[in-house]
DNA sequence: ATAATAAAGATAATTCATATCTTATTAAGA
DNA sequence: TCTTAATAAGATATGAATTATCTTTATTAT
């Protein structure tokens, strides 16, 4: 019941990028350093982000990644789904037919309900919410 | 971002028990059969449930497990926490000090917020909600 | 004494998370 | 043009957690 380190790093990495002037080419090395994450792992994560299209990648010297979307449009749900795959709280949450207890599953409705609540919450935040220092909240 | 098989089995097992007359001694064998789950795994799960106190266990012939609480009091959150441990969406969700980016963590507030929403949803359902056939919802 | 049950512990299989290593690509400079 | 350094892409490896299974022991009703 948690997001992966990879999703956490991806979110932090995208927030870092969104804080730079639009169009800035960022190196994994710098993204990793500024987010306290392992560079080699971050590299893998940004490969996945690039495949999804929300960042662009450029290989070779002076290559790197650029943010390829409006930070407002990139919700936390979207990032988590790109990295961890679809959010499925329980295997029977999606549809009853994929459930082992098909046709007689007591809990299907509950998981569908809770999942809806969770995904709504994840959709209510975007990368843009963290891209300015204004947003800081004290403990 | 999902509950474990173990939690799923635990919930189904407890629902099965709650459907029996109060005080009924249930065998793991029967619980497993009626929930389409592996008996040996279910056995382990019920050991954990017994340790937590929400079921009682009796060894020996005619031994088994009894439901040791009001099904209304056993929320889904409680079961998941007994089996999977505390619900922590992201390691920095609990408190900022446990976060690698302590003192400068953009996303702490978000995870604390989403976690609160999720745990509230998990607390809004209890085993009792599924212990009668009245509750059935069509797809 | 026997059979039925759970408890406890050991082990195994599989999957997933978390990386690291090697290769390909490119820009820039010699 | 050739070499080098910097970079991402892709392949591989490690380790931990999940999901079991199996075996032995303890307990108890018959």
Q: What tens digit of pLDDT does each residue of B47-64 get?
A: 999 999 999 999 999 999
Kindly report the CATH number assigned to the domain that includes residue B95: 1.10.10.10
Share of chain A above pLDDT 70, in %: 88
| A129 chain-B contacts, CB cut-off 8 A | 110
B47 with B58: CB under 8 angstroms?
no
Residue A135 in this model has a pLDDT that exceeds 80 = no
B106: nearest CB among A108, A109, A130: A130
Query: Per the domain annotation, does B138 fall within a domain?
Result: no
Domain of A104?
A: 5-130
Write phi, then psi, for A73 (nearest 5 degrees). Answer: -85, -15
User: Could you say which DSSP state residue A63 is in?
Assistant: -
| A113 chain-B contacts, CB cut-off 8 A | 121
Long-range contacts of B130-133 (CB under 8 A, 24+ apart): B130/A106, B130/A107, B130/A110, B130/B15, B130/B18, B131/B15, B131/B18, B131/B19, B131/B71, B132/B19
Question: Stated in angstroms, how far is A22 CA from D17 C1'?
Answer: 40
Q: Which residue has the higher pLDDT, A139 or A46?
A: A46
Could you list the beta-strand ranges (E) of A16-138.
Answer: 55-58, 64-67
Predicted pLDDT at A138: 42
What is the C-alpha to C-alpha distance for residues A96 and A109, in angstroms, rounded to an integer?
9
Note whether B84 contacts A121, CB cutoff 8 Å: no
Query: Per the domain annotation, does B10 fall within a domain?
Result: yes
**Both tokens assigned to B34:** 């009626």
- The band of A137, judged by pLDDT with boundaries at 50, 70 and 90, is very low
Query: Per the domain annotation, does B136 fall within a domain?
Result: no
Please choose, from the candidates A134, A13, A138, the residue with its C-alpha nearest in 3D space to the C-alpha of residue B103.
Answer: A138
Predicted pLDDT at A91: 84
Mutate to test the interface with A, among B33, B106, B117 (most CBs of A within 10 A): B106
Question: Stated in angstroms, how far is B44 CA from D23 C1'?
Answer: 15
**Both tokens assigned to A88:** 């499925």
Q: How many domains does chain B have?
A: 1
In order of A20, A110, A118, B131, the CA distances from A114 in angstroms are 36, 6, 6, 19
Angle, alpha carbons A85-A86-A87 (nearest 5°): 115
Q: Specify burial of residue B9 (Cβ count, 10 A radius: 0-12, 13-18, 19+).
A: buried
**Both tokens assigned to B121:** 């949803």
Chain B residues contacting A, CB < 8 Å? 1-3, 8, 11-12, 15, 35-36, 76, 80, 84, 87-92, 95-96, 100-101, 106-110, 113-114, 117-118, 121-122, 125, 129-130, 135-137, 139
Q: Which residue has the higher pLDDT, A102 or B135?
A: A102
Question: What is the helix (H) or strand (E) element at residue B15, kind and residue range?
Answer: helix B5-19
Predicted pLDDT at A106: 83
Q: Cβ neighbours of residue A39 under 8 Å, at least 6 residues apart?
A: A28, A29, A32, A33
Over residues A90-126, the pLDDT tens digits come to 988 776 666 666 567 889 999 999 999 999 999 999 9
- Considering only alpha carbons, which residue of chain A is nearest residue B138? A109
3-class DSSP state for residue A58? strand
Residue B134 in this model has a pLDDT that exceeds 60 = no
Write phi, then psi, for A126 (nearest 5 degrees). Answer: -130, 165
Residue A139 in this model has a pLDDT that exceeds 50 = no
Query: Per the domain annotation, does A137 fall within a domain?
Result: no
Query: Per the domain annotation, does B73 fall within a domain?
Result: yes
Q: Which residue has the higher pLDDT, B94 or A72?
A: A72
The pTM for the full model equals: 0.90
Query: Per the domain annotation, does A43 fall within a domain?
Result: yes
Note whether A3 contacts B129, CB cutoff 8 Å: no
Over residues B14-44, the pLDDT tens digits come to 999 999 999 999 999 999 999 999 999 999 9
A48 with A81: CB under 8 angstroms?
no
């Amino acid at each position: 019941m948690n997001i992966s380190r990879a999703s956490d790093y991806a979110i932090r990495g995208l927030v870092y990028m969104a804080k730079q002037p639009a169009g800035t080419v960022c190196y994994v090395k710098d993204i990793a350093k500024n987010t306290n994450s392992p560079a080699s792992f971050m590299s893998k994560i940004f490969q996945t982000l690039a495949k999804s299209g929300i960042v662009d990648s450029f290989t070779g010297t002076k290559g790197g990644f650029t943010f390829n979307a409006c930070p407002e449009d990139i919700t936390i749900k979207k990032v988590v789904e790109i990295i961890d795959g679809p959010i499925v709280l329980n295997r029977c949450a999606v549809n009853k037919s994929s459930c082992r207890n098909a046709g007689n599953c007591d809990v299907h409705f509950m998981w569908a309900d809770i999942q809806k609540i969770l995904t709504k919450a994840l959709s209510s935040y975007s990368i843009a919410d963290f891209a300015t220092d204004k947003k800081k909240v004290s403990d």
